[in-house]
């Protein structure tokens, strides 16, 4: 992907999102540019996860369009709110991280030295190098989330999507993974992260999207929170 910073990565054009006959997010226009670091927040059930699913192609709009200037599978790293990984399945942390490279290696071609180095680097970045051979069922919640982050990092995707990545995770893990996300942003990656912690959004994320009652607001985080605090229902309990 050779997009320059500030060029549109994807655009929602008069999009309406929902499931079956239920509208979750009413008609809206929105653009996220290459290199943006954007938080998506709002009350539970407001449409945050629906928005992310639309970006990754799991949900198509009822009406309107989503214009994507990237290839979904090869250029997107997605960490869903509820991992589909069965922690009882007898695989190691290293095996889990390696699955992110299947689109390059296939099931039977095997790992190259370059691939193994990528996995080792990702495990080191998240502080799991010493735990690489542990099985998933032996991990704490924070360790498991670190492993999932490593699987996301090893893809080196220019677009990173995270849906509530810090729920049920210890404070040290949150701090360490936040540093990683900021480094990814510094490297030019585009990050869209769904969060419920408004203090975190204020402290760390420069752009924000607020979704509630089918309404979408977007802009600079501090400006959005300052100009729309009361009438749009923004508060510290979001």
Domain assignment present for 202: yes
Residue 111 tokens, joined: 């790992």
pLDDT of amino acid 6 = 66
- pLDDT digits 0-9 by tens, 160-197: 999 999 988 999 999 999 999 999 999 999 999 999 88
pLDDT of amino acid 115 = 86
User: Do 104 and 212 belong together in one domain?
Assistant: no
Go through the chain and tell me how many residues it has.
238
Domain assignment present for 134: yes
- pLDDT digits 0-9 by tens, 195-206: 988 899 999 999
**Terminal CA-to-CA distance of the chain, rounded, Å?**
35
Which DSSP symbol is given to 225? H
Element (H, E) at 33: strand 22-33
Q: Indicate the residue among 137, 156, 175 that finishes a domain.
A: 156
**Residue 171 belongs to domain spanning:** 1-18+33-75+158-233
- pLDDT digits 0-9 by tens, 28-48: 999 999 999 999 998 888 899
pLDDT of amino acid 102 = 73
User: Do 1 and 68 belong together in one domain?
Assistant: yes
User: Do 66 and 101 belong together in one domain?
Assistant: no
The shares of helix, strand and coil residues in the chain, as percent rounded to the nearest 5, are 35, 25, 40
Other Cβ atoms closer than 10 A to 120: 16
CA contacts within 13 A on the Cβ side of 82: 1
Residue 180 tokens, joined: 């990683």
CATH value at residue 6 = 3.40.50.300
pLDDT of amino acid 237 = 42
Residue 236 pLDDT greater than 50, yes or no: no
**Model-level pTM?**
0.87
pLDDT of amino acid 229 = 45
Q: Which of 199, 150, 206 is nearest to 182 (CA)?
A: 206
Question: Comparing 116 with 213, which gets the higher pLDDT?
Answer: 116
Grouping H, G, I as helix, E, B as strand and the rest as coil, residue 193 is: strand
Q: Indicate the residue among 113, 138, 156 that finishes a domain.
A: 156
Q: CA geometry: angle at 93 spanning 89 and 98, to 5°?
A: 95
User: Do 177 and 69 belong together in one domain?
Assistant: yes
Q: Indicate the residue among 156, 171, 206 that finishes a domain.
A: 156
Q: Which of 188, 190, 182 is nearest to 161 (CA)?
A: 190
pLDDT of amino acid 147 = 95
User: Do 207 and 188 belong together in one domain?
Assistant: yes
- pLDDT digits 0-9 by tens, 126-158: 999 999 999 999 999 999 999 999 999 999 899
Total domain count for the chain? 2
pLDDT of amino acid 213 = 79
User: Do 120 and 143 belong together in one domain?
Assistant: yes
Domain assignment present for 23: no
User: How would you classify the pairing of strands 37-41 and 190-194?
Assistant: parallel
Between helix 141-153 and helix 171-186 the angle, nearest 10°, is 10
pLDDT of amino acid 212 = 86
Domain assignment present for 57: yes
pLDDT of amino acid 71 = 66
User: Do 170 and 209 belong together in one domain?
Assistant: yes
State the chain's mean pLDDT as an integer.
86
| Average pLDDT rounded to a whole number, residues 73-97 | 84
């Amino acid at each position: 992907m050779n997009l320059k910073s500030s060029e549109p990565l994807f655009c929602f054009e008069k999009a309406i999102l929902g499931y079956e006959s239920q509208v979750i997010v009413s008609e809206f226009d929105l653009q996220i540019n290459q290199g943006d670091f954007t938080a998506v927040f709002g009350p539970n059930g407001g449409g945050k996860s629906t928005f992310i699913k639309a970006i990754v192609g799991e949900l198509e709009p009822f009406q309107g369009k989503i214009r994507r200037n990237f290839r979904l599978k090869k250029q997107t790293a997605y960490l869903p709110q509820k991992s589909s990984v069965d922690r009882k399945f007898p695989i190691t942390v290293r095996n889990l991280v390696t699955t992110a490279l299947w689109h390059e290696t296939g099931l039977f071609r095997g790992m190259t030295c370059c691939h193994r180095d990528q996995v080792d680097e990702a495990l080191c970045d998240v502080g799991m190098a010493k735990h690489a051979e542990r099985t998933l069922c032996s991990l704490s919640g924070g360790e498991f989330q670190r492993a999932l982050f490593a699987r996301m990092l090893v893809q080196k995707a220019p677009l990173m999507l995270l849906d509530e990545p810090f729920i049920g995770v210890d404070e040290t893990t949150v701090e360490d993974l936040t540093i990683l996300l900021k480094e990814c942003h510094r490297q030019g990656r585009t990050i869209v992260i769904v969060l419920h912690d408004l203090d975190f959004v204020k402290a760390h994320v420069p752009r924000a999207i607020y979704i509630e009652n089918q309404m979408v607001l977007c802009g600079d985080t501090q400006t959005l929170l300052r100009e729309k605090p009361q009438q749009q229902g923004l508060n510290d309990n979001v």
